[in-house]
Structure 1
Amino acid sequence: MDFELPAHVNGLQAHQAMQNIFGDGADVNAANSDSDRTTFSELLCKKIESQPATKTGITTAQQVSSSVLSKAKPNTTRSDIINTGNPLDLAIEGQGYLVLSDGQRNIYTRSGAFIVDVNSTLIDTATGYKLRRIGSEGQSDGFQTPDDYAISIPYGALIPAKGTSKVKVAGNLSSDITIAGGPPVESLKAERQTQQITSNIAYTTNGDNVAAMVTKISELDQFHGESDISGKLKAGESGVISISGYNPDGTALNRGLMFTVNTETTLGDFINHLNTNVLIGASASLVNGKIRITDDKGGYSRTDIKLLYTGSGSLIMPGYFEILNAGGDEVRNANITVYDSNGGKHVLAGAFVRANRPNTWDMVLTSVTGDVGEITINNRRIENIRFNSDDGTYAGLSGSDSPRFVITFANDPANPQTIEIELGTAGRLDGLTQFKGISTAAAREQNGYEAGRLLDVSVNNEGVIAGVFSNGTKKNIARLQMVLFKNASVLKSIGGGYFLASPDSGEAVAAGAVTDVAGIIHAGALEKSRADAAIRHKQTDMFQGYNGFRTNAESIKVANEILRELSRQMR
């Protein structure tokens, strides 16, 4: 009887504790709201704590351990994840915690409802605590401040334009079409295309009137004269047009390279000089005020020309000659929009032309829209793009040519813009190929953009926050800090799903999402409250507690009656 009565009293207290915890309740509407359960360790600890110290004043090992056993244990069991549509709502599928700061200490949570405050800082919706980041993402672009680990999301922030420096090309260049000296494949043979080039400016006179063959060069709108009151050449003054370039066969122009201009010289005189004294295998004409040069026959061609004026006055010369039709046994055109250093858009038109050597192509820059200052002859053609005959893979470039174009845009004449053309990796199929069938090669992507403002953000599974800008580009803004604990079950709860590290939980250890057990981050979602599921368990606990309480109370009542009867009989 001495043993049973205290046991029933302890049972009564235990089941009363179960009832009290159920009565405390939990917010079923709060994201990731946790619940507690009465455990054997808690009851044991309470029992041990009620025992006095030994007569020697030494606390027992059991009493020392009671402080650990009685810690509240947060429930970190994964709950259901529900979509919210808010890109700044975050749910963790794993064991990790997000890190917040109240300005004095780090606070840990799995609750992921966040907003951007008036200072462009990402904060916890319920508390205003600042969400912390890790690493240097976003610092180089000025989105984040070094040594300040709060996360800034500056909606409306401007990023400057970036001039295109790389263009990636990929696809097939057909191996079926005949090459010079090889047997034709009649069903696929393409008609040889004849090279035709034209000046990128049209000459005019008296405003909008297109210049003709009889128009004097000194009277062109593009001529700005010397000492004559009209701004044109006067008697005794002259200038020289220097000529350089290549014949269709790739040999350099080597005759008639200087043409003298005086007050009576016409455009027709210059065109006739080109035809009579300069060009071999091609002929010049004037079409709608533009100087045009056309090869005498079709096929692979290197025809190109550069003009430069010196002497009295100044004459605007073509910055380059556009290629209207690229000469070749087969030609595959490839266009892409690129950007200059100010963010101006230009359509870069290129063409792959089959060279007069087996398994070899060139890529030539045919034209660039917009205001172009200059494209030099040697910086517009990538020669000797070779392919392996056995498997059709890209084999690299032969010779010293570099895979790049150089363009001088009029808005920045002092800084020619180099655009690297990525053709692929030699021996692999990640760029250009040469197989049978049709040609599909094209310019796939480039890395330039115009200026833009931050419109929206997204968060990937690894916790990287990316900004979406009005110019269509994406940039990484920050990376969320996630941590793990040696024993997360003994974190110190401060309510509402927020915790502090405790001596028994261990220090927070930085962990990467996905790669570590910290887990995957789901953006636009929240972890459903565990309290609603816990309510169902607590209802069962309530009935168990009620029945246990009632049973122990009845047992105590019976024991009291027995003791009362024994006492009465003993008297």
Structure 2
Amino acid sequence: MSFNTAISGIHAANKRLEVAGNNIANSGTIGFKSSRAQFSALYSASQLGSGRNAVGDGVRLASMQQNFNQGESMTTSGNPLDMRIQGNGFFVVSDGGSLAYTRAGAFLKDAANFVVDSEGGRLQGYAANEQGEIKRGLRTDLQIDTSNVSARATTRVAENINLDASLPSLARLPVFDPADPATYTRVVGRTIQDAGSGAGATAVPAADHELKQYFVKTGDSQWSMHVLIDGRNPVDPNSVAPLQVTLEQRPNGSLSYSGNSQHLRKISDTEFALQGWRPAEEVNGAWVSNGAANGGTVSLPLNNGSISMLDPGDALMDRPVPAFDPSDLKTYSDMFANAIFDSQGNQHELKQYFVKDGTNSWRIHALIDGRNPQMPDSTDPLTANIVFDSGGWVQSLTGGPGFASTHSNGLQLTGWTPAMPAERVTGPEKWVPNGAAGSAKGITIDLTNLLQHNAASSRSSTHVDGHAAGQLSSLSVGRDGILCAGFTNGMNKNIGQVILASFSNPQGLQARSDTRWTESADSGVADYDVPGVGTLGSLIGDGLEGSNVVLADELIALIQAQTAYQANSKAISTEATVMQALIQST
């Protein structure tokens, strides 16, 4: 009868109203997925001939379909455990041993430090060990370790450093000093006379003077010659600075020179001449001209009898580097500093000073807090030598006591005594042990990635272990689902990783209260993996996924359902009028 057909239509319209109303009611529910009612037509089975003229018996509810499209992102109040899925996965929660699945990522920490949802369901994931390494494969309730991090002494400093190969060596020839034999290679001297001057009572008699030539071997075939007469400059007796020329022995045996060519002139490959000499004498502590003539040029032979002053067999003059002083930038080429820690978590500063003392050779000086690591009352550094090969890689390391080289391009700093300044009223600063200790194994300074290339000196990265004690201060969630704890000492530690679930047929999931679903035979068994795998999607920390309800669509659905309800009601009233007319006509 048409009564039944219209009644089925009313039931269908009512169901559409229920579904739209439920969607609208949950338009602000975190992680909610909208539903849609699917209907199908009803026809009575006929045993008599063809059904081509069948009218139909109304409508019935065929199924309820859920829309698992991504919901809108929502801002949060700053809860670090809020998270949303950018993909198709589901969070996994355990409630009393049974598993449920949800898209609502509003999680918090309960009294036992488990990560739970609003109903107390524990978020599932993989735990991390003491070193922060994620142990995949064993699903567990994620729990936040709130215990403090103990202090740890530094055991290793690893750096990627380039030392500028173009920097000049700080090794310098010593300043020439005629009173210091260490500043010259050879010296030859003789007595010469000036020519006197005048005649009679005013005549100035000829006087003896001491001429000295000093030779400094600066290279395999290079020398410098310094000339003094009576310990004074020959042409300016008020100065003690010598006349100087640079000499070079050519491969063919000839001699070239450069320098003071105005007063020092080459006569031959074995002799120079001094021109412009001003004889002088000391009067009351001052040097003045004695009025005598110089007698012309003064011969400057380059040999002493049969002995050449330019002997290729002489050793090169030693080129010392300036005495190291950390407060004097001229005594080192580069410096890099690192914070290190003692056994009590006290922070100290390790400074490494690099001194270039040759083409491919450097020295490294180490100080901690500006003091000798082993004897904190001293400011003398620990020192090692570094030699690079032609490619700019470390060829050899040579350390000293307490700063020995290792087998893998490193230096082992041992015997460190952590110290602090002692209280003082007067007198020099004094440092005393602070009661802590360094690592029993010492500190390895890893120089594997130390290079010498023609680029500005720089440090591209550094890794220093050891740290102060720390308390939990922050939590964060990465896109890969890793929960990371931050501590007051600046450390970060992985404490677990969120897992996500996927299903072969999400439409087969059974909807439950609290925006949860459970698996069923239609959905298939859940597959678990970490965010970022397949279509599971990644996690966005400090964010939530809102409802995917589109209110405009739901309002249209309400209007359509209302219209269908009214039309089916009209069909019933019309059928009733027809039936009443039939009854009255009989």
TM over 0.5: yes
Q: Which has the larger strand fraction?
A: 2
| Aligned-pair CA distance for 1:405 | 2.9
Equivalent in the alignment of 2:258? none
User: How does the TM-score come out when normalised to structure 1?
Assistant: 0.60
**Quick one: distance in 2 between partners of 1:529 and 1:138?**
36
Equivalent in the alignment of 1:402? 409
Q: Which has the larger helix fraction?
A: 1
User: How does the TM-score come out when normalised to structure 2?
Assistant: 0.59
Check if 1:544 corresponds to 2:560: yes
**Quick one: distance in 1 between partners of 2:155 and 2:365?**
17
**Quick one: distance in 2 between partners of 1:498 and 1:435?**
63
Check if 1:468 corresponds to 2:486: yes
* Counterpart selection for 1:508 from 519, 526, 532: 526
Deviations 1:328-371 (A, max 9, x none): 9962111211113332322111122324244x545442455579
**Quick one: distance in 2 between partners of 1:139 and 1:414?**
20
| Aligned-pair CA distance for 1:450 | 1.0
Check whether the contact 1:362–1:385 (CA below 8 A) recurs between aligned residues.
Answer: no
Check whether the contact 1:93–1:522 (CA below 8 A) recurs between aligned residues.
Answer: yes
Check whether the contact 2:413–2:444 (CA below 8 A) recurs between aligned residues.
Answer: yes
Check whether the contact 1:467–1:476 (CA below 8 A) recurs between aligned residues.
Answer: yes
| Aligned-pair CA distance for 1:108 | 1.0
Check if 1:383 corresponds to 2:386: yes
Letter paired with 1:404? L
| Aligned-pair CA distance for 1:495 | 1.4
**Quick one: distance in 1 between partners of 2:173 and 2:525?**
73
Question: Residues 405 and 414 of structure 1: is their aligned pair in 2 closer, same or farther, counting only changes over 3 Å?
Answer: closer
**Quick one: distance in 1 between partners of 2:491 and 2:107?**
24
Letter paired with 2:536? A
Aligned ranges 1:411-450 → 2 under 5 Å:
411-412=436-437, 415-424=440-449, 432=451, 434-436=453-455, 438-441=456-459, 444-450=462-468
Structure 2 gaps of 5+ residues are 46-59, 175-316, 398-406, 418-435
**Quick one: distance in 2 between partners of 1:550 and 1:497?**
33
Check if 1:75 corresponds to 2:61: no
Check if 1:130 corresponds to 2:130: no
**Quick one: distance in 2 between partners of 1:456 and 1:335?**
28
Check whether the contact 2:477–2:541 (CA below 8 A) recurs between aligned residues.
Answer: yes
Question: Residues 176 and 402 of structure 1: is their aligned pair in 2 closer, same or farther, counting only changes over 3 Å?
Answer: closer
Letter paired with 1:544? Q
| Aligned-pair CA distance for 1:7 | 4.8
* Counterpart selection for 1:103 from 96, 103, 124: 96
* Counterpart selection for 1:10 from 8, 11, 22: 8
**Quick one: distance in 2 between partners of 1:348 and 1:402?**
19
| Aligned-pair CA distance for 1:515 | 3.3
Equivalent in the alignment of 2:253? none
Question: Residues 414 and 96 of structure 1: is their aligned pair in 2 closer, same or farther, counting only changes over 3 Å?
Answer: closer
Check whether the contact 1:329–1:353 (CA below 8 A) recurs between aligned residues.
Answer: yes
Paired residue secondary structure (1:132): strand
Check whether the contact 2:159–2:459 (CA below 8 A) recurs between aligned residues.
Answer: yes
| Aligned-pair CA distance for 1:373 | 3.8
Check if 1:176 corresponds to 2:176: no
Paired residue secondary structure (1:149): strand
Letter paired with 1:492? Q
Equivalent in the alignment of 2:348? 346
Letter paired with 2:482? V
Letter paired with 2:79? N
Equivalent in the alignment of 1:118? 111
| Aligned-pair CA distance for 1:191 | 7.7
Paired residue secondary structure (1:478): strand
Check whether the contact 2:133–2:494 (CA below 8 A) recurs between aligned residues.
Answer: no
Deviations 1:45-104 (A, max 9, x none): xx69x99xxxxxxxxxxxxxx99x63x443321111122122111111111111111122
Check whether the contact 1:373–1:413 (CA below 8 A) recurs between aligned residues.
Answer: no
**Quick one: distance in 1 between partners of 2:131 and 2:457?**
41
**Quick one: distance in 1 between partners of 2:395 and 2:155?**
20
Letter paired with 2:72? D
Deviations 1:480-536 (A, max 9, x none): 1211111122211111211111111111111221233111211111112334x3x43
Question: Residues 349 and 527 of structure 1: is their aligned pair in 2 closer, same or farther, counting only changes over 3 Å?
Answer: same
Aligned ranges 1:111-510 → 2 under 5 Å:
111-124=104-117, 126-134=118-126, 136-140=127-131, 149-155=140-146, 157-179=147-169, 192=172, 299=320, 324=326, 331-358=333-360, 360-367=361-368, 372-373=373-374, 381=384, 383-386=386-389, 388=391, 395-398=393-396, 402-410=409-417, 411-412=436-437, 415-424=440-449, 432=451, 434-436=453-455, 438-441=456-459, 444-510=462-528
**Quick one: distance in 2 between partners of 1:108 and 1:442?**
45
Letter paired with 1:542? L
Paired residue secondary structure (1:38): strand
Letter paired with 1:403? G
Equivalent in the alignment of 1:391? none
Select the structure of larger CA radius of gyration: 2
Check whether the contact 1:92–1:527 (CA below 8 A) recurs between aligned residues.
Answer: yes
Paired residue secondary structure (2:561): helix
**Quick one: distance in 2 between partners of 1:396 and 1:554?**
96
**Quick one: distance in 2 between partners of 1:193 and 1:550?**
109
Letter paired with 2:350? L
Check whether the contact 1:339–1:450 (CA below 8 A) recurs between aligned residues.
Answer: yes
**Quick one: distance in 1 between partners of 2:371 and 2:156?**
19
Deviations 1:218-274 (A, max 9, x none): xxxxxxxxxxxxxxxxxxxxxxxxxxxxxxxxxxxxxxxxxxxxxxxxxxxxxxxxx
Check whether the contact 1:385–1:396 (CA below 8 A) recurs between aligned residues.
Answer: yes
Question: Residues 372 and 439 of structure 1: is their aligned pair in 2 closer, same or farther, counting only changes over 3 Å?
Answer: closer
| Aligned-pair CA distance for 1:372 | 4.0
Paired residue secondary structure (1:159): coil
| Aligned-pair CA distance for 1:478 | 1.1
Check whether the contact 1:143–1:154 (CA below 8 A) recurs between aligned residues.
Answer: no
Equivalent in the alignment of 1:251? none
Question: Residues 560 and 324 of structure 1: is their aligned pair in 2 closer, same or farther, counting only changes over 3 Å?
Answer: closer
Letter paired with 2:13? H
| Aligned-pair CA distance for 1:115 | 1.6
**Quick one: distance in 1 between partners of 2:565 and 2:329?**
98
Check whether the contact 2:171–2:356 (CA below 8 A) recurs between aligned residues.
Answer: no
**Quick one: distance in 2 between partners of 1:110 and 1:502?**
18
Paired residue secondary structure (1:416): coil
Check whether the contact 2:134–2:497 (CA below 8 A) recurs between aligned residues.
Answer: no
**Quick one: distance in 2 between partners of 1:97 and 1:403?**
49
**Quick one: distance in 2 between partners of 1:382 and 1:466?**
42
What is the count of residue pairs matched by the alignment? 398
**Quick one: distance in 2 between partners of 1:193 and 1:498?**
83
Question: Residues 383 and 486 of structure 1: is their aligned pair in 2 closer, same or farther, counting only changes over 3 Å?
Answer: same
- Aligned Cα RMSD in Å? 4.1
| Aligned-pair CA distance for 1:474 | 0.7
Paired residue secondary structure (2:141): coil
